[in-house]
């Protein structure tokens, strides 16, 4: 979900849901100044970024392991 949430006096724009939660969990596992992405995100990126396979992690709220990659930079850079 992406949209406004809360009473009219304190209305805030927010995002919620599985995608947001997964991104937050991956951010928590990433080293400082780095980013971890899931297999689903890797497929969307194609070959535009150089990646390092980091293995499978059990993330809170996920029934199955999440295969992860560390983003190293733009491919060919």
Domain that holds residue 26: 2-74
Dihedral of alpha carbons 19, 35, 54, 73, sign: positive
At 13, which CATH number?
3.30.70.1230
Q: What is the pTM of this model?
A: 0.80
Write down the pLDDT at residue 39.
96
Domain count across the chain: 1
Nearest residue to 56 via CA among 73, 38, 76: 38
pLDDT in tens, 41-63: 999 999 999 999 999 999 999 99
């Amino acid at each position: 979900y992406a949209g406004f949430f809360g009473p009219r006096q304190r209305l805030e724009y927010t995002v919620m849901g599985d995608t947001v939660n997964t991104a937050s969990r991956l951010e928590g596992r990433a080293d400082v100044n780095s980013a971890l992405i899931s297999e689903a995100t890797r497929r969307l990126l194609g070959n535009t970024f150089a990646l390092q396979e980091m293995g499978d992690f059990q993330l809170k709220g996920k029934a199955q392991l999440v295969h992860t990659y560390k983003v190293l930079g733009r491919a060919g850079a």
